[in-house]
Amino acid sequence: MSVIYFIFQQTMLFTIPLMVVALGGMFSERSGVVNIALEGIMIMGAFTGILFLNLTGGKMQGQVQLLAAIIIAMVTGIVFSLTHAYAAINMKADQTISGTALNMFAPAFAIFVARVIQGVQQVQFINTFRIESVPVLGKIPFIGPLLFQNTYITTYLGIGILILSAVVLYKTRFGLRLRACGEHPHAADAAGINVYKMQYAGVAISGALAGLGGLIFVVPTSTNFNADVAGYGFLAIAVLIFGQWKPGRIFGASLFFGLMKTIAAAYSGIPFLASLGIPSYLYKMVPYIATMVVLMFTSRNSQAPRASGIPYDKGQR
Amino acid sequence: MKFKKKKNYVGVLSSVFAIFIGLMVGLVVLLLCNPSQALPGFATILSGAFTHGMRGVGQVFYYATPIILTGLSVGFAFKTGVFNIGTPGQFIMGGFGAVYVGIMWDQLGPVHWAAALLAAVVMGALWGLVPGVLKAYFNVNVVISCIMMNYIGMYLVNWVVRSYKPLFNTLRNESKNVAATAVIPKMGLDKVFPGSSVNGGIIIAILVVLLIYVILEKTIFGYELKAVGYNQDAGKYAGINEKRNVVLSMMIAGAIAGLAGGLLYLAGTGKHIEIKDVLASEGFTGISVALLGLSHPVGVLFAGLFIAYLTAGGFYLQLFEFSTEIIDIIVAVIIYFSAFALIVKTLLGKLKDKKAGKEGGNET
């Protein structure tokens, strides 16, 4: 039984950041801007967030410190993503190119600044954020250990973001307008929607969520930050497509990816899997291979936003 | 013909513009960090490559070899209308093919290194082929499948190198040395650039650049590839088999990136396949090289040399207590602004068209 709890708790640590970042990507693509820079934005968000944890270590601790770091990471993500928005929306640049530039910039910047500030590139922090057991709820049999023990506040934040994203996208005027801009910006424009504004909003939301995702990926799984989020930004893009640009499916896809990552990282501690003797590399490869297979069967009639990746030009017919 | 030349001129101008802004941003960052050291540091970036004379120049050629080829891979694919972000995967697969043959088939004698390079080309082509086929027959987005192939390739290479005893150096957690016969010959370059790591790889790279130039500009096959790249529907209407073209162009792009991996790991400079879960950076640098070189083979050659030159100069920055990442920052800014440059280019073009239109109007 404890093995199941362990796997589930570990899976959550991988799943939640992946899902949050993929949801960010969803908002951007649904507004019509491809955001391949998620990886870079994650690194920037994680960097400023962790740097904050490092600098305030000793003076602050616990959930208050973490929440402050989360806000800093999200703001960083927004600011950084705006450079992508400016290139993609105002300058009508190739979105893949500007995204690639951001991905290159972020790790170099994080290492450079870390070296300038403290001499070494790794940013250390003290993890005081793990919740042993949530009061009352943690005592519930089965569900308690599964969901409310050995957890982080970020897990619940992630679930909240998932629900909020689904509501915003499908039940609000903003969501409808955002989706319209991603499907047919000219029609949206004709209906009186400011396409540029909606696309800026989409990219900014993706920046906030990717920045947050970077921080909450690093905090539970490490004690230092080395200008790297292990390709999670690219994995999040796979999750986004795997999830066909829909919040519910994105959750399912990230759960699957998270489980595979957990198995790859911890399979030797799981008696059943250890006895199978399958090398960890296979588990590491499975999410990517699975994405390829799913793409093969879904790409013919893809659910991708139709105008995604095409710069919106008012004068074009 | 004249028109075409003018267009290229504008393109080069916008690349120069992007490079200028990139360097300025680099200077500003240096000034913000440490004003007293900034100017000598910046001068080092610009001229550091010559610190040791001809040896430094040889180092530039050595750094440039793989990134010219990964850049050519991306640029070639760009010309045919696909964005090949799969170079890191193709690169490492190529490197693996070369290392495998380089270690295992040591009875080949003098053709050993050529056989190892061939293996690199084949493995790279295979890794490029998959996204091409998926695009042609299943309509899978090339960017996404390339990203997936990058990770699959990286994990696969790590897995095989690690678990196959003859290839794995347990002590250093990397691949073993290749046989001496598999190391690429110096081809006389060690005489010209004494003491540097340069080898025949740069000559091979330049030959491949020329080959791709000829294919793209002087053959029907290349014309068809470019036609599909400009407008897929028009190409199809003109009777070009666009599916075959996507598959072939991805395969060739993969082969070039694979060759880049082969040339690096057979250079005999102590480069080994390290067992790290990190994508090959040479692959991503290739994207920058291609963008900076406007995807033109000759442009790519110079862009590769330029970035290698900056990298070689940046190496000496540590003397001023700046970390070498400043070079990556500069290159990223250059790429960001070269994305802008596309619009600068069209704006300039529009301005010219207007002028031409007005002049035409006055004449009649």
Query: For A159-215, what is each residue's pLDDT tens digit?
Result: 999 999 999 999 999 999 999 999 999 999 999 999 999 999 999 999 999 999 999
Q: What is the spatial distance between Cα B274 and Cα B156, in angstroms, rounded to a whole number?
A: 13
Structural domain contains residue B131: yes
Instruction: Report the percentage of chain A scoring pLDDT > 70.
Output: 98
The nearest alpha carbon in chain B to A92 belongs to B343
Residue A248: CATH number of its domain: 1.10.3470
Which of A94, A104, A295 minimises the CB distance to B284?
A104
Structural domain contains residue B359: no
Domain count, chain B: 1
Question: Does the predicted TM-score (pTM) go above 0.80?
Answer: yes
Residue B332 sits at the chain A interface (C-beta within 8 Å): yes
Which of A97, A279, A302 minimises the CB distance to B159?
A279
Residue B8: band (very low, low, confident or very high) from pLDDT cuts 50, 70, 90: low
pLDDT at B362 (0 to 100) = 45
Regarding predicted confidence, which is higher, A3 or A205?
A: A205
- DSSP alpha helix (H) spans, chain A: 2-30, 38-56, 62-85, 95-118, 143-147, 153-171, 173-183, 185-190, 195-221, 232-242, 247-266, 271-276, 280-298
Residue B291 sits at the chain A interface (C-beta within 8 Å): yes
pLDDT at A317 (0 to 100) = 57
CB contact under 8 A, A105 and B333: yes
Residue B139 sits at the chain A interface (C-beta within 8 Å): yes
Residue A30: band (very low, low, confident or very high) from pLDDT cuts 50, 70, 90: very high
pLDDT at B364 (0 to 100) = 38
Query: For B13-71, what is each residue's pLDDT tens digit?
Result: 778 888 899 999 999 988 988 888 888 888 888 887 777 778 888 889 999 999 999 99
Query: For B289-307, what is each residue's pLDDT tens digit?
Result: 998 888 899 999 999 999 9
Q: What is the spatial distance between Cα B91 and Cα A247, in angstroms, rounded to a whole number?
A: 35
Structural domain contains residue A293: yes
Structural domain contains residue B264: yes
CB contact under 8 A, B144 and A289: no
Query: For B131-160, what is each residue's pLDDT tens digit?
Result: 999 999 988 888 889 988 999 999 999 999
Regarding predicted confidence, which is higher, A160 or A62?
A: A160
Query: Domain range holding B182?
Result: 65-307
The nearest alpha carbon in chain A to B138 belongs to A296
Residue B2: band (very low, low, confident or very high) from pLDDT cuts 50, 70, 90: very low
Structural domain contains residue A308: no
Residue B130: band (very low, low, confident or very high) from pLDDT cuts 50, 70, 90: very high
Regarding predicted confidence, which is higher, B145 or B342?
A: B145
Which of A93, A285, A296 minimises the CB distance to B138?
A296
Query: Does the complex come out with an ipTM higher than 0.90?
Result: no
pLDDT at B363 (0 to 100) = 40
Domain count, chain A: 1
The nearest alpha carbon in chain B to A113 belongs to B33
Which of A115, A238, A295 minimises the CB distance to B140?
A295
Nearest CA to CA, how far is A104 from chain B (Å)? 6
Instruction: Report the percentage of chain B scoring pLDDT > 70.
Output: 91
Query: For A238-296, what is each residue's pLDDT tens digit?
Result: 889 888 899 999 999 999 888 888 887 777 777 777 777 778 888 888 888 888 887 88
Query: Domain range holding A91?
Result: 2-298
Structural domain contains residue A194: yes
Structural domain contains residue A169: yes
pLDDT at B1 (0 to 100) = 38
Residue A111 sits at the chain B interface (C-beta within 8 Å): yes
Report whether pLDDT(B259) > 90.
yes
Structural domain contains residue B344: no
- Rounded average pLDDT over A10-24: 94
Structural domain contains residue B141: yes
CB contact under 8 A, A299 and B139: yes
The whole-chain average pLDDT of chain A stands at 88
Regarding predicted confidence, which is higher, A294 or A68?
A: A68
- Rounded average pLDDT over A20-26: 97
Query: For B196-214, what is each residue's pLDDT tens digit?
Result: 888 899 999 999 999 999 9
Regarding predicted confidence, which is higher, A16 or A94?
A: A16
Residue B277: band (very low, low, confident or very high) from pLDDT cuts 50, 70, 90: confident
Report whether pLDDT(B4) > 60.
no
